[in-house]
């Protein structure tokens, strides 16, 4: 680098740049937070099934579903995307519940495929998970994923 460009100039670019872009980022964040109510399907959270969705999200977390699956494209790449699984199963809650129930009651031995753990869920818990997945599928994701296979 040329001599005319000094260390203190470089330092000032760092502080100035960091400060300016941090402020811009905070402004965009603020705007995003304001825009979210139209996009993030919070109507569902505020509806009568809201508590069930919250319970579903909690179950989702304490069973670490994200350790195998993606949700809206984020997570692990070992098992199918679940952000749109509700749509994949014809927007039918019972179909989603039945699918989960089927997967977790497969025998432990003798199926040489990628496996979902044999979670011990009650029917209420499966219903809560399904409601959570339905809620996720109704978030406005700007048209992602490209098709129902996720």
Partner 1 sequence: MQYQSQKVAIPYFVGAIVLFVAQILFGLIMGLQYVMGDFLFPEIPFNVARMVHTNALIVWLLMGFMGAAYYLVPEEAETELHSPFLAKLMFWVFFAAAGLTVAGYLLVPYSTLADITGNELLPTMGREFLEQPTITKIGIVVVALAFLYNLGMTILRGRKTAINLVLMIGLVGLAVLFLFSFYNPTNLVLDKFFWWWVVHLWVEGVWELILGSILAFVLIKVTGVDREIIEKWLYIIIAMAFISGIIGTGHHFFWIGTPEYWQWWGSIFSALEPIPFFMMTIFAFSMVKQRRRNHPNRVATLWALGASVMAFLGAGVWGFMHTLSPVNYYTHGSQLTAAHGHMAFYGAYVMIVLTIISYAMPLLRGRTAANSERQQTLEIWSFWLMTIAMTLITLFLTAAGILQVWLQRVLDSPLPFMAAQDQLTVFYWMREFAGVMFLIGLLLYIASFFVGDKEPEASVKTIA
Those residues whose C-beta lies under 8 Å from the C-beta of residue 85, and which sit 6 or more positions away, are 96, 99, 133, 137, 150
d(CA 82, CA 99): 12
Rounded to a whole number of angstroms, the minimum distance from the CB of residue 148 to partner 1 is: 8
Q: Which of 16, 17, 37, 73 binds ligand HEM (CB under 6 A)?
A: 73
- Asked if 139 and 74 touch (Cβ cutoff 8 Å), the reply is no
Q: Which residues are within 8 A (CB) of 79 and not within 5 positions of it... i.e. 6 or more apart?
A: 68, 69, 114, 116
CB of 36 vs ligand HEC, minimal distance in Å: 24
Nearer to partner 1, 61 or 94 (CB): 61
Pick from 21, 25, 30, 77: which binds ligand HEM (CB under 6 A)? 77
Residues that bind ligand HEM (CB under 6 A): 73-74, 76-78
Which residues sit at the interface with ligand HEC, rule CB under 6 A? 60, 63-65, 67-69, 79-80, 82, 85, 88, 96, 99-100, 103, 113-117, 119, 129
């Amino acid at each position: 680098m040329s001599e005319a460009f000094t260390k203190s100039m470089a330092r000032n670019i760092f502080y100035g740049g960091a400060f300016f872009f941090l402020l811009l980022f905070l402004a965009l964040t603020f705007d995003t937070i304001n825009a979210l109510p139209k996009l993030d399907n919070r109507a569902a959270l505020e509806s009568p099934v809201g508590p069930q969705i919250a319970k579903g999200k909690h179950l989702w977390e304490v069973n670490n579903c994200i350790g195998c699956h993606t949700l809206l494209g984020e997570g692990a790449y070992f098992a199918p995307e679940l952000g749109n699984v509700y749509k994949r199963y014809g927007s039918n809650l019972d179909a989603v519940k039945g699918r989960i129930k089927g997967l977790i009651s497969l025998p432990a031995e003798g199926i040489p495929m990628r496996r979902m753990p044999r979670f011990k869920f009650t029917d209420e818990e499966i219903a809560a998970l399904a409601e959570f997945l339905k809620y996720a599928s109704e978030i406005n994701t700007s048209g992602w994923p490209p098709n129902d296979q996720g």
